[in-house]
Structure formats: C-alpha cells, structure tokens
Amino acid sequence: MKIKMPRWFYQLASPRWFYDITSMLLPWFSMIALILMITGAVWGLVFAPEDYQQGNSYRIIYIHVPTAILAQSCYMLMAVAGGIGLVWKMKMAHVVAKACAPIGASMAVLALATGAIWGKPTWGAWWVWDARLTSMLVLLFLYIGVIALTSAFEHVASGDKAAAVLALVGVVNIPIIKYSVEWWNTLHQGATFTLTEKPAMPPEMWMPLLIMVIGFYCFFGAILMSRARTEVLQRESRADWVKSLVEQS
C-alpha cells in the first residue's frame, strides 16, 4: 500500500524551494531568538531570586537546561531526517541531517560543560559517572560518529546513508538519557519542569527558563537553516538556479 504524503512534504525535497522559503524564515528566527535569549538571560541571571539551597550557583540552569534539551531534540530531528532520506530518497532530508550534527554536538558539549560547572559546588566534583552524565557523553560520541561518517566516504550519498543508519541506531540512547534518573539511583536531579506537572520552581524562576528554552530552539532553527542553505549551494553548485544566484551576487 502506497502512503500518500501531503504536498508540502514533497516540496521540502526541492533544494530551490527550501532555499527560497528559508530566505524568508531565517531573519525572523534570528530576530526572535536574539530577543528571547537576551530577555531570558537578563531575567534569569540578574532578576530571578536566589535559590534557598544552592544560592546563585543554580543560575547555570538558564544555559545548562536549554542546551541539554536541545542536544536531545536535535538528535531526534537528525535521526528522523536521516530515516526520511533512507526511505523516501530525499536529498534534502540528508542535508538537514548533516546540518544538525555539528549543532547538536555543540549543544552536547555545552550541556556537559555547564553540568560540570554546576556539579562542582553541588556534588563536590566536576564529573561523576552518573547515568545521566554518561548517557549524555554517549550522545556526544554519537554526534561525532555521524559527523565522521558523513565525510568518510568519497561519494556524498554513501556518507549520507551511513550517517543516517548510525543516527537511527543511536536513537535508543535518547530514552536512556530522559529516564536515567528514574531507572537508576543517580545524583542528577529530575526534570526541572514538564508539560504535565506543576513546576516545582516559583514562576519568577521557571518563566525565564522557559523563555531561554524557546529562544534556544529559535536559535537552533536559524543556525540549522543557515548551515543547510550553505550545504544546498555546495551540493547544487551545477544547477542553473545556483549559478544565477552567484551571478546576481
């Protein structure tokens, strides 16, 4: 049975359509990301109240939590895009997957680094082989593996397929990261807030955190579109529409 997909799904397979639509979206995502991240950072780092247990050291969450969430979300998008590329043979899906990898790796590094900074005053150590920390480190290694596979093959299509397979296999690590604090006895605290439960933090603490998370997602969207557009121009360098863009510039 053949699955009929909506029209926009097939439009996404067109490099030129993708380039044109992101030309309109990129400035908006960039502007919104800048506004939200500045607002959230100033609110959280300057005006949010001090925590009664951790003091001011807790303020690292306004960087740590968004980067940790984004590192996982970015991996899921990369795996989904890679799967679409394998099943529907969409070149643009592989472009998006390739663009995701360095961004997700950067977010994983920031999450691990800020977690270590937070862990020192909280746990008395920069690093412990905690289930959450270890699975996040595995996530970083998966990103590095995807990046390496993408460029390890002479033919672009072969690298895309190999990276997509690894990304799909590595998806098993995402629920391990999410539920590690429930499955094992770990030092890491549970989720700061969820969509289904009332936040344990007061509004003046979690509202700037929510703003930072949304801002980081917009920032991710802007960087992803920028990287994907560059990759499109490289892969479609012989296309007439790309040549005309070069001539116009």
Per-residue pLDDT of the chain (249 residues; tens, 9 = 90+): 455 666 666 667 889 999 999 999 999 999 999 999 999 999 999 999 998 888 888 899 999 999 999 999 999 999 999 999 999 889 999 999 999 999 999 999 999 999 999 888 877 888 888 888 999 999 999 999 999 999 999 999 999 999 999 999 999 999 999 888 777 666 666 666 565 566 677 889 999 999 999 999 999 999 999 999 999 999 999 999 998 988 887
pLDDT at 102: 98
Three-class secondary structure of residue 124 per DSSP: coil
Nearest 5°: the CA angle 191, 192, 198 is 100
**Contact (CB, 8 A) for 44 and 208:** yes
pLDDT at 162: 97
> Residue-wise over 80-106: b if at least 16 C-beta within 10 A, else e?
bbbbbbbeeebbbbbbbbbbbbbbbbb
User: What is this structure's pTM?
Assistant: 0.91
Residue 119 C-beta-side C-alpha neighbours within 13 Å: 18
Give the pLDDT confidence score for residue 27 in this predicted structure: 97
Give the separation between CA 191 and CA 213, rounded to whole angstroms: 14
Residues 6+ apart with CB under 8 A from 232: 15, 18, 19, 92, 95
- Predicted pLDDT at 130: 85
Quote the CA–CA distance of 10 and 90 in Å, as a whole number: 9
Which residues, at least 6 apart from 35, have a Cβ–Cβ distance to it below 8 Å?
215
Q: How far is CA 24 from the centre of its chain?
A: 21
121: number of Cβ within 10 Å: 13
Residue 104 sits at the vertex; the CA angle it makes with 102 and 107, to the nearest 5 degrees, is 110
